[in-house]
A = this chain, B = another copy of it.
Amino acid sequence: MKVLNKLAVALIFVSLSFFATDLLTAQQLPPPEAVEIDKLGFMTGFPPSGEKVINAQNKNKYPQLRWVLQHSRELGPTKNIRRGSGPVSPLPQARRDLDNFIFEDEKGEKITVLQWLKKTYTDAIVVLHKGRIVYERYFNEGAAYNPHMLFSITKSFTGLLAAQLIQEGRLSADDMVVKYIPELADSAWGDMKVHHVLDMTGAVQFREVYTDPTSEIFAYMYACNMIPPPPNYTGPRTIYDFLKTLKKGGEHGKGFVYRTVHSEVLGWIVSRVTGKHFTDLLSERIWQRLGMEEDAYVAIDPVGTPWQGSGMSATARDLARVGEMIRKNGYWNGQSIFHPAVVEDLRRGGDREKFKASGMDFRAGYSYHNQWWIVHNADGAFEASGVHGQMLHINPAAEMVVVKLSSHPVASAAFTHALTLRAFTALARAVRQ
Contact = CB atoms under 8 A, between A and B. Distances in A.
A55 interface: yes
B87 A78 contact: no
Contacts of A85: 88, 145, 293-294
A77 interface: yes
A359 interface: no
A289 interface: no
Contacts of A47: 238, 240, 303-305
Interface in A144-179: 145
A79 interface: yes
Interface residues of A, number: 34
A375 to B, nearest CB: 33
A300 B74 contact: yes
A248 interface: no
Q: Is the interface of A mostly helix, strand, loop or mixed?
A: loop
Nearest to A302: B55
Contact of A79 (B74, B79, B238): B74
Given A46-B305, A302-B55, A74 B82 contact: no
A80 B293 CA distance: 15
Nearest to A273: B46
Nearest to A144: B85
Nearest to A55: B302
> Taking each of A43, A46, A73, A78, which has the highest tally of chain B beta carbons within 10 Å of its own beta carbon?
A46
Contacts of A43: 303-304
B48 A304 contact: yes
B268 A46 contact: yes
A95 interface: no
A254 interface: no
A53 B303 contact: yes
A69 to B, nearest CB: 15
A350 to B, nearest CB: 27
Given A75-B77, A302-B55, A303-B53, A272 B82 contact: no
17 contacts: A43-B304, A46-B240, A46-B272, A46-B277, A47-B304, A53-B303, A55-B303, A73-B77, A73-B79, A73-B80, A74-B77, A74-B304, A76-B77, A78-B78, A85-B88, A85-B293, A87-B87
Given A78-B78, A85-B293, 9 more contacts: A46-B268, A47-B238, A47-B303, A47-B304, A48-B303, A73-B77, A74-B77, A74-B79, A87-B87
Sorted from nearest, which 4 A-B pairs have the closest CB atoms?
A46-B271, A85-B293, A47-B303, A47-B240
